Structure 1
């Protein structure tokens, strides 16, 4: 009986060990999503009257790194003159639900990586067909779909976490804003 009980105990431990699940720790740069119209997915579920007949036009999925007292632009984090992933972790993915004009460039509906080449005075925003890339380490200029240059604006206060959002400009245009630290860039997106 003692041998059977001991064998049964070892068997339970072996099964428990085989089924043990370990999880990664929390990411320092949590993911976020920006829609136009703003909060489209939330309102579609919880406030359908608010969106009425509006359809999603564009969505960006990105990671939100924090400043944490660091210098951001022109450093190793976001070097001037080099391709940067616009955020952290994977390059952000922008999905256009219909053909758009991004800045002054016509872009077909679809999914693209959103990258940038920041400088002190302007950013070159890049839409690349190379989605699912970590950072911008595998960036290939031949896969660029569009490039748009926009001026840098200075914020009056520090924005602790990198953020992206859309705002309605007029009936057919939204403004895509990206900000971090005291830097802000905007680009029109017309539908």
Structure 2
């Protein structure tokens, strides 16, 4: 009886530790954002880290000049039920990972769409799997954004804009539904 009770307590403690470990891996909340452009849906799923007083562009959080998962935890995913043009990149209907190469200031950023949709961060990012890359427009914000925010804003007709705002920076790129 003592052995059974001891085993039950050990397994319970192990379960609690595993639950704490799993929640610690996702310190940033996750978000799903959707937009409809020309009757077609674009969905983005991403982790939303906080600035927390850090210089995010000059640290390991979102290192300037290096491929960034553009969020926290898993790589950011974009799903479209129609073919798109994202900047100069033709994106067939489907699901892709979305990365960026931030410049760290208001210079150009690079948006990367990668064919490997399910991957953890950018640790195993493979440039050979890129669907394409496109330049993003970047501007300094008048008020800082504490938590990473990614949106797709519908425009006129089949046009829209994908925006990534965090800290004192907003990067954007045109989106067009085919």
Q: TM-score range by the shorter chain?
A: 0.7 to 0.9
Residue 81 of structure 2 corresponds to residue 82 of structure 1: no
1:16-31 equivalent positions in 2, closer than 5 A: 18=11, 21-22=15-16, 23-24=19-20, 25=23, 27-31=26-30
Q: 1:15 to 1:124 in 2, by over 3 A?
A: same
Judge which range, 158-167 or 98-107, deviates more.
98-107
Q: CA deviation at 1:109?
A: 0.7
Unaligned runs of 5+ in 2: none
Q: Are residues 11 and 80 of structure 1, via their aligned partners in 2, closer, same or farther at CA, if it must alter by over 3 Å?
A: closer
Task: Please give the secondary structure, in 2, of the residue aligned with 1:130.
Answer: coil
* Residue aligned with 1:138, SS: coil
* Counterpart residue number, 1:117: 101
Stretches of 4+ aligned residues off by more than 3 angstroms? 9-21
The structure where strand makes up a greater share of residues is 2
Q: Using CA pairs below 8 Å that are at least 6 residues apart, which structure has the higher relative contact order?
A: 2
Query: Taking structure 2 as the reference length, what is the TM-score of the superposition?
Result: 0.85
C-alpha contact 1:84 1:117 (8 A) present in aligned 2: yes
Q: Give, in whole Å, the separation in 1 of the partners of 2:5 and 2:48.
A: 43
Query: What secondary structure is seen at the aligned counterpart in 2 of 1:170?
Result: coil
Of the three residues 162, 165, 168, the one matched with 2:151 is: 165
**Partner residue in 2 for 1:92:** 76
Structural RMSD (CA): 2.1
Preserved contact between residue 62 and residue 93 of structure 1 (Cα < 8 Å) = yes
- Aligned partners of 1:11, 1:74: CA distance in 2, in Å? 53
What corresponds to 2:46 in structure 1? 62
3-state SS, counterpart of residue 142 of structure 1: helix
Structure 1 contact 35–58 (Cα < 8 Å) conserved: yes
Question: Deviation per CA, 1:57-114, whole angstroms, max 9, x where unpaired?
Answer: 2101100000001111133221221111101111101111111111122110111110
Please state how far the C-alpha of 1:118 moved relative to its aligned partner: 1.1
Distance 2:148 2:124 in 1: 22
TM-score by length of structure 1 reads 0.80
* Map of 1:44 onto structure 2: none
Determine if contact 2:137/2:173 at 8 Å carries over to the other structure: no
Unaligned runs of 5+ in 1: 1-6, 39-53
TM-aligned CA distance change 1:14 to 1:55, over 3 Å: farther
Q: Is the 8 A contact 2:79 2:96 kept in 1?
A: yes
Q: How many residues align?
A: 169
Deviation for aligned residue 1:151? 2.0
